Amino acid sequence: MEKKVMSKDDFLYPRGRYYGHVKPENLVFNSNLQEFALRISYICNLETGGKIPPEEAYEQIKQLWKELKRSKKQLRIGSDPFHNDDQDTP
């Protein structure tokens, strides 16, 4: 039985599968959201370990949040209230 060797990048930057509606903008936003979560985790760990002060951690997280919001707005995620993806209309 062969063991699959995990690359360093796969270990350090894990990615989850996407199970939502498959549209390009949803996939891009999902990728951005996963990167946001990973970076938040790093910042929290650095702050907990005493490597960065709480104020710096807060500012970095605040900046990441602004970037995620800007991404959501640019991708127009949830901006069309009259289009329902659950209905199959021609």
Read off the amino acid at residue 79.
Answer: S
pLDDT for res 75: 94
Percent of the chain past pLDDT 90, that is, above it, reads 60
Given a contact cutoff of 8 angstroms between Cβ atoms, the answer to whether 41 and 54 are in contact is: no
Each residue's pLDDT tens digit, 14-42: 777 778 888 999 999 999 999 999 999 99
Q: What value does the mean pLDDT of the chain take?
A: 85
52 has pLDDT over 90: yes
Per-position DSSP letters for the chain, written without gaps between them = -PPPPPPHHHHHS--PPP-S---HHHHHHHHHHHHHHHHHHHHHHHHHTTSS-HHHHHHHHHHHHHHHHHHHHHHTTT--TT--TTS---
Which residue ranges make up each domain of the chain? Answer: 34-75
Q: How many helices (H) and strands (E) does the chain have?
A: 3, 0
User: What pTM value is reported for the model?
Assistant: 0.73
